[in-house]
Each structure stands twice: as C-alpha cells, then as structure tokens.
C-alpha cells in the first residue's frame, strides 16, 4: 500500500491505548490498539476493523468485521464473515475462527485456525476452553449486544 494512503487511513481510526477497568470493550468504528489491553471481551460492531499494534489477551467477537494483527493477540478470536490478517510483525496464540485467514511470512502463529465456521462453533469453543462462569458472562454479553 502507498505510504501516504496508509497514513491517511490510519488517521481515520480511533486509537485505543487501554481498556481501563472495562470487562467488555465495544468497538463500533475502525480502531487501532496500541497498548496492552485485557478486558474479558472485545465486540466489533458492524463492519468495523480492529488493527492491533499492542498486546491483547481477550476473546474477540465479530459478525462481519475484521482483525488485523501487527502486535500480539492471545485468546479466542471469531470473525464470522470477516477476515483475520496476521502481519509479519504479529504473533497469534490461542484459537482463530474466521471466514478468511491471511498470514504474512515472518509472523508467529501458535494457534488453532478454523476457516468457514459459524457462530455455533464459536459457542462450542468458548464452552470448551473457558471456565463455565466466564463463558456464560461472555456469551450473555454477546447476546445482549446483537
């Protein structure tokens, strides 16, 4: 991508440096994470894109949005109709469930990746991998924000 165009696109993103004490982080417009955040859940609303340049240890849920990882993401990520893009500076650990998965040479992938999965598979993974109380909170939050 042309550097000037990339710079222009990044200026139109909301910058997130911390999640404070939030257990749930709702993202409704294109955003860049630059710090270390660890809420229990990040929900991407609509076609928003999340660019991670920091460190995220969380469950990420998106029906149609996309995740671009240039930093570190640990946890479970679901991009129902969106894509997961692991850039050359990125590290992904955990589980990625998505429609499309792009990986650049030089990135680090220590995760299980499943392509073309639906929400029912995401729910199954959440119930299998997380303690019951945490999985119930996350699934309830997702249902409440649909």
pTM over 0.75: yes
pLDDT in tens, 71-116: 999 999 999 999 999 999 999 999 999 999 999 999 999 999 999 9
pLDDT in tens, 30-52: 988 888 888 899 999 999 999 99
* Residue in 109, 17, 122 with CA at minimum distance from that of residue 76: 122
At residue 17, the pLDDT reads 66
């Amino acid at each position: 991508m042309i550097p000037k165009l990339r710079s222009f696109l990044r200026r139109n993103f909301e910058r997130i440096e911390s999640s404070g004490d939030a257990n749930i982080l709702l993202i409704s417009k294109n955003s860049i994470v630059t710090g270390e955040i660890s809420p229990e859940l990040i929900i991407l609303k609509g076609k928003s894109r999340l660019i991670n340049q920091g460190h995220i240890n969380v469950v990420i849920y998106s029906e149609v949005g996309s995740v671009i990882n240039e930093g570190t993401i640990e946890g479970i990520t679901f991009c129902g109709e969106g894509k997961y893009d692991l850039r050359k500076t990125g590290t992904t650990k955990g589980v990625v469930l998505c429609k499309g998965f792009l990986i650049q040479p030089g990135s680090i992938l220590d995760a299980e990746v499943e392509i073309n999965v639906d929400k029912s598979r995401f729910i199954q993974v959440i119930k299998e991998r997380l303690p019951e109380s945490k999985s119930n909170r996350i699934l309830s939050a997702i249902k409440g924000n649909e």
